[in-house]
């Protein structure tokens, strides 16, 4: 068995120690400088993330954020020979995107979807109450487990004073609030990610899960997002002049989210308030 492994020996050992014998590693994703494996052994199941090149610093920062936040599912991490690794307990359950799948197919499962959206708001509220922001909320970054929602991919999680790294671009471009897009366009660091900017991404995440499309209607604004660089797209978003998609497959829910996407940051609800409002839809 001399196949070179992209998994550092220390990460392999920690994973084996945590999951037990009969370890099986299955690759889940491999993109933008980091790869995630699902690791299963006789003692348990874990997620192993390994970052290399540009991904090494980012993965190391994620491990540090999980440790700083004392996140329950954090197991360990390290840096070795230019690679960084992060071991977490495998979170069993669908992502918010997956919970909303029946809603997108034929409008079914709305009650469960609403409760999940409210739970997601609760998880974000919990993070905000500690003085942190996730800074990369998106439909796949909330996992709905039997015991509640866990936020994953905290690579860009931030609080004032925390090392943000040089590459922070605001998280998922399509879910950038206009004011955060504007802040990134200036190039000034650190980029202050306010809870209000995160609420925009939170509402945009729920909107996307419910409708299947990102909130902004680029086409009507004459923008081809596929032909634009992320930087160009951020400049457009920063104008605040791209309309929100006109489709209303779930008006009652979208009526709650729309003002969050359109109003001034100062008028946006807190995550807790948004969760309460969604609970009453
Ligand atoms: N602790 C975990 N439990 C369950 N699934 C996970 C866990 N960590 C990562 N994943 C899975 O791996 C995917 C990629 O992880 P993520 O941290 O978002 O990495 P990336 O930086 O590539 O986006 C997630 O969308 C999820 O499906
Ligand atoms: Mg991710």
More confident residue, 6 or 77: 77
Judged against a pLDDT cut of 80, whether residue 4 lies above it is answered with: no
**Residue among 26, 51, 153, 165 to mutate when testing ligand 1 (max atoms within 8 A of CB):** 153
182 SS3 class: helix
Judged against a pLDDT cut of 50, whether residue 1 lies above it is answered with: no
Percent of the chain with pLDDT over 90: 96
Judged against a pLDDT cut of 50, whether residue 163 lies above it is answered with: yes
**Residue among 65, 95, 135, 152 to mutate when testing ligand 1 (max atoms within 8 A of CB):** 152
Q: Mind listing the pLDDT tens digit for each residue in 23-52? A: 999 999 999 999 999 999 999 999 999 999
Q: How far is the CA of 261 from the centre of ligand 2 (A)?
A: 22
Give the model's confidence band at 6: pLDDT under 50 very low, under 70 low, under 90 confident, else very high.
confident
- Side-chain half-sphere of 104: how many Cα atoms within 13 Å? 14
**What is the average pLDDT score of the chain?**
96
Q: Mind listing the pLDDT tens digit for each residue in 180-209? A: 999 999 999 999 999 999 999 999 999 999
For residues 228-242, give the mean pLDDT: 97
Q: How far is the CA of 192 from the centre of ligand 1 (A)?
A: 25
What value, to the nearest 5°, has the Cα angle with vertex 275 and ends 271 and 277? 115
Judged against a pLDDT cut of 90, whether residue 103 lies above it is answered with: yes
Q: How far is the CA of 142 from the centre of ligand 2 (A)?
A: 10
| Closest ligand by atom to 34 CA | 1
Residue with the nearest Cα to atom 16 of ligand 1? Answer: 153
CA distance 240 to 262: 9
Q: What is the pTM of this model?
A: 0.97
Q: How far is the CA of 200 from the centre of ligand 2 (A)?
A: 18
Judged against a pLDDT cut of 90, whether residue 5 lies above it is answered with: no
**Strand ranges in the chain using DSSP code E only, listed in sequence order:** 24-31, 34-40, 45-52, 74-80, 83-89, 142-145, 148-151
What value, to the nearest 5°, has the Cα angle with vertex 57 and ends 51 and 59? 45
Question: All domains of the chain, ordered by start, with CATH?
Answer: 9-89 (3.30.200.20), 96-279 (1.10.510.10)
CA distance 77 to 87: 6
Q: Is the CB of 138 under 6 A from ligand 1?
A: no
Q: What pLDDT score was predicted for residue 3? A: 42
């Amino acid at each position: 068995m001399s196949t070179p492994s992209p998994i550092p020996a220390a990460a392999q050992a920690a994973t084996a120690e945590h999951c037990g014998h009969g370890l099986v590693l299955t690759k889940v994703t491999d993109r933008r400088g980091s790869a995630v494996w699902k690791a299963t052994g006789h003692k348990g199941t874990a997620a192993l993330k390994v970052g290399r090149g540009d991904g090494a610093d980012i993965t190391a920062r994620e491990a540090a954020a999980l440790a700083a936040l004392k996140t329950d599912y954090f197991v360990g991490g390290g840096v070795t020979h230019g690679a960084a690794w992060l071991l977490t307990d495998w979170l069993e359950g669908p992502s918010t995107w997956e919970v909303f799948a029946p809603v997108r197919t034929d409008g079914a499962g709305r009650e469960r979807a609403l409760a999940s959206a409210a739970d997601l708001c609760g998880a974000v509220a919990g993070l905000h109450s500690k003085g942190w922001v996730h800074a990369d909320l998106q439909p796949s970054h909330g996992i709905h487990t039997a015991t509640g929602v866990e936020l994953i991919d905290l690579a860009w999680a931030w609080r004032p004073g925390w090392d943000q790294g040089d590459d922070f671009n605001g998280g998922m471009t399509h879910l950038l609030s206009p004011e955060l897009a504007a802040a990134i366009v200036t190039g000034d660091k650190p980029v202050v990610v306010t809870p209000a900017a995160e609420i925009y991404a939170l509402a945009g995440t729920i909107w996307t899960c419910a409708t299947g499309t990102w909130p902004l209607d680029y086409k009507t604004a004459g923008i081809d997002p596929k032909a634009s660089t992320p930087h160009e797209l951020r400049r457009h978003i920063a104008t605040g002049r791209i309309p929100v998609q006109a489709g209303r497959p779930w008006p009652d829910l979208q009526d709650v989210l729309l003002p969050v996407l359109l109003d001034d940051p100062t008028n946006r609800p807190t995550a807790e308030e948004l969760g309460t409002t969604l609970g009453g839809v």
